[in-house]
Every structure is written in structure tokens, then in C-alpha cells.
Structure 1
């Protein structure tokens, strides 16, 4: 089986990669690994005949200081981070970016990486003939999101399935949606998977997470490894038996 992160924030990719490493699964890069991808971004980019080389032809600085592709609504929060923008622009301001910035090496590299990883994602169309594909999406604490209030507008397990089925052209896949409940305690519950509900479209789960990276109290994006690995292991194990 293949296990593929589809956002919405970078924590998903980090924790899925940790799961792969722990289970001897070869790493593979995908387009939504290190971006912020609202549901609208998936709707815009996971369509037939989408050309990944067209990303970032029109772009703007978002509220986080990183760069958003205006056509796909993908936030290139790592490749074109606040720090990268500040190296290119002396006085970056929220709003549309000029042609000079869009012609920069940083943008060119971001487009190149997106094209490469999008091709990896496209290969999942053929994978359905022989291998089940598991998609993992993190909705932070749910909708609305305090950082991006519209991030999960119209997003449900059913609507995610429809987008993926249309893109892939097959139904040999399943989706896991994870939501997090941040707890004040430094002690995780014996079972940090607080809820786990399966339907014909996949699974929706809620996990308990301590603040920061493995409970260090920081704003580190990586999250809490134990609950993530618990829910990913359960999902992967169940899907292996289907």
C-alpha cells in the first residue's frame, strides 16, 4: 500500500514520513507535503489536465508572510517562506507580487519541485490497478480554523472522496481525516485516539496532542508523535486487511 499526505498543514507530511520510516516504507515526495492546502486548493489542483507548471504565475504575499499561488490557492509556506520573501524583497507587504519576484530563482525552484512531486501524485492513477492508496489529511482542530477560517469550507469525507476519485479514475483508495485536541497535561491518555469513526468513505479520527513537538510546549509544527503513530498504525493495519 501507499500512504500519501494531502495537507492541510505540514504536520501531516512530517508524521506520515515518520510512520513510513518506522515501518520500512520507502519515502516519496508529494505536492502537498510542505504547503498549506485549503480544501479549495485541492479542488483547484486535483482536476483532469491540470498543468502543475502553471503554479505561481500569479502570486501574492499572504497573512503569514509566505507566498500564495493565486490560481490554485496553495500556500507555499516552506519553499517560499517569510524568510525567503524577505531575502528577495526589502519591504515585503501583503498583496500581489511583481514580475521580478516571480522570475526569481526561489520561485523557479518552487515550481520545479511542485512539478516533480505532482508527477509523483499523478502516478497514483496507475497504482490503483495493483496497490491500495491511503490518503491522510489533517484538519487541525476542525472548521473553522483560527489561522485560515475558510480552510475547510465545504470539506467533508464525502467531498474529499469525490475529488480523489475523479482525479485518480479508480476507487482503490481510502481517506483518513485527523483532527487534534490539544491537552494541557504532559501525560497522554492510555489511548490518545479519542475517536475513530469509519464510514464507506474512510475514517474520521480525533487524537489528543500535547502542545509543540512531542509536548515540548513550543509552536513547532511537527506535532505529537505518539498519538499520530497510534492512529496511523490503526488505519494502516485495518486497510491492510480490506
Structure 2
């Protein structure tokens, strides 16, 4: 309960202090944490620092933030849900599927390795993960140059096995790597994923290449609260 005095990053110190109070029973399951104003005074840190600490505690599944009421200790701290679903296992689509053409901006050009302004096929939808039950935003980018000379020019997004088969037949052996990042959501993402306030998101992108050239980028975005990735060792 003391003020923060160590030399570590302030948000980590606050996180550790609140976590210790929860695990030691200072704050009981279901009990509200002190108000934001009280914690700011108690720890002597900025509002931004305190909110960073609360984001981490939410991600760990120790607290939940209820809009207009404050932060509460979870009645049963949530064990991290493991994301182990292979990309070959389908998501359950709950929204409309949007397929359109888009010229690559700086972000999508960097992801797909094409020049800015190059044409991309884009597929977007909202779905649920059958393992965790969480909402997932999906976005698939297919460069026009990767689809050229294949049936994908007229049907860019068949079932995934057919998509990969068409790319392999045109470009040769495919290899893939997973890119993972966490960040705070945009307002549109918060709404689409039905997220509570102060909830980070986890973004995983599977980038498929052939002969060093990106031919497909598949992104899934979901809540990062109390979640962990599992990569089986082969």
C-alpha cells in the first residue's frame, strides 16, 4: 500500500503493487479496487501510468473494469485461454463477408511487400473462435500480382485449401511465418469486438511467401484479455 519508490518503470511498479494486494487478500474477489483518484494519490503516479497498470492486470485476468463503476477483482481469476486453433480450422462467421479491391497504403504495402498503390484483393469479416468463443476480426490480403495467371483473378477467396493450392501451383513451394503484436484497439475495433473499456487486442498475421515473395497475408484480431498463444514444438 506504500507509495512507489523503486527505480523500475512506474507502470510495472504499480502493476506489481496492485497484484500483490490482490493475491495477498487485501482486495477480495468481487471487491472494487479504490477509485482512480484514490489510487493516483496513493501511488503518486499519473493517470496514464495507472491505466497502463490496469490494462496489464486485465490482460492477466485478475480484474475487470465495469463502465461507470470502476475496477473489480474477478470473483474467480480467469486462467489464460490458449490459442491453439490451426488456421485450417474455420471460424464461425457472424457478420457479412466483404470482398473488395484496395490500393496498398504504407501499412499494407509493408505487410505484403508490394509497392504503395499496388492493387490488393481484400476479404474482411467478423467471426467467433470455436475454441475460446471470442469475437475475431479477420482480414486477408491477396496481391493482384500473386493472383495473376490463376483462377484467383476471378474468384480471389475460395476455401483456404483451394486458395493455397492455386498459389502453390502458380508460385511453387509456400512457406509461412506468424507475426504477433498487441496494441490498444481503434474505436471501430472496440465496437466490432464488443470490448469493455481499457481492453488491449492481440493481432496475429500469417504471412505466406513463395520464393521470398509474399503471396498472402491473413490477419486475425481479438481481445488480448487473459489469453496466451501456444505453439506446439515439432
Normalising to structure 2: TM-score of the pair? 0.23
Instruction: Flag the structure with larger Rg.
Output: 2
Query: Which has the larger helix fraction?
Result: 1
Normalising to structure 1: TM-score of the pair? 0.22
